[in-house]
Amino acid sequence: MEDVTDVAFRLLCKRFGADMVYTEFLSADALIRQVAGTTRKLEIDPEERPVAIQIYGREVEPMVEAARIAEAAGPEVLDLNFGCPVKRVAGKGAGSGMLRCPDQMLRIVEEIVKAVKIPVIAAGGIADGRGVAAAFALGAEGVQLGTRFICCTECTVHPNFKQAVLDARDRSTSVTGQRTGHPVRCLRNKLTAEFDKLDARLAPLEEIEKLGTGRLRSAVVDGDTDWGSLMSGQSAAMVNDILPARRIVERLFGEARDVLQKIQGCCDVDPE
């Protein structure tokens, strides 16, 4: 996460049991231009390994070049994030903006997989086996899911939060906090409507930040689905049940296997 997952934060995560950590969001263009503030984020402490470097962009060639730069920094994994809703990212066609151009997104994954030797993880909008299969078909060696695991048995969020995800539809999310520089995608409710009103009248940033203070806790701990910040991706529309994490993973990969076998069957050619 931008401005959050720096080296110190990642080391704390490792200390408390994280199996893998991710760097902040790195712009492909900024890496190529060697912008100091961006290249500094490539630094990796030996004690935080295994670590993934996360990059974003919208054009194939710059993304490939940035992937090579990131690989040279020595991470175990390269993460391609196509889910970030930040206006300055998505508005330029990168992050979640790539979901408008799936052909381009697929080309980026395919070309980066060919260009680097470390495993590539695809992230953004994946919640079922079809998304997993699509990523693997392009050469990715892993996928990153967030929203799907809100609705797993082990997740400790309030049951009301889980039910809100289950009730979500294709257009149930909204991006709040664009003007603060810390936007998040949430399920629409009274809180997101109030954020929209503040944005419409260009309210002071202090007023916007005050409205958002403590709202995630309200959703996660207290189960307030009206005024809590129900952080969720657009893939919430594909989440229909609550299962143990192990069962979710088994089903994801079972579905992906079925899809890939079907594709292989379609490609089989009778030599005669």
Task: Give the max Cα distance, the chain.
Answer: 72
Given the residues 84, 151, 152, 186, the one annotated as active site: 84
Q: In this predicted structure, what is the pLDDT of residue 225?
A: 97
Among candidate residues 226, 208, 211, the one with its CA nearest the CA of residue 158:
226
Three-class SS of 152-207: ECCCCCCHHHHHHHHHCCCCCEEEECHHHCCCEEEECCHHHHHHHHHHHCCCCHHH
- One-letter amino acid at 233 equals G
- Residue 99: what pLDDT? 63
267 is annotated as an active-site residue:
no
Residue spans of beta strands (DSSP E) within 29-111: 51-56, 77-81
Per-residue pLDDT tens, the chain, 272 aa: give them.
666 788 899 999 999 999 999 988 888 989 999 999 889 989 999 999 999 999 888 888 999 999 999 999 999 999 987 766 666 666 666 766 666 666 777 788 889 999 999 999 888 788 999 989 988 888 888 898 989 999 999 999 999 999 999 999 988 998 887 777 667 789 999 999 999 999 888 999 889 889 989 999 999 999 999 999 999 988 899 999 999 999 999 999 999 999 988 887 777 766 55
Supply 156's token pair.
């400790």
The Cα–Cα gap between 159 and 70 comes to 39
pTM: 0.76
Q: Return the HEC string of 222-257.
A: CCCCCCCCCECCHHHHHCCCCECHHHHHHHHHHHHH
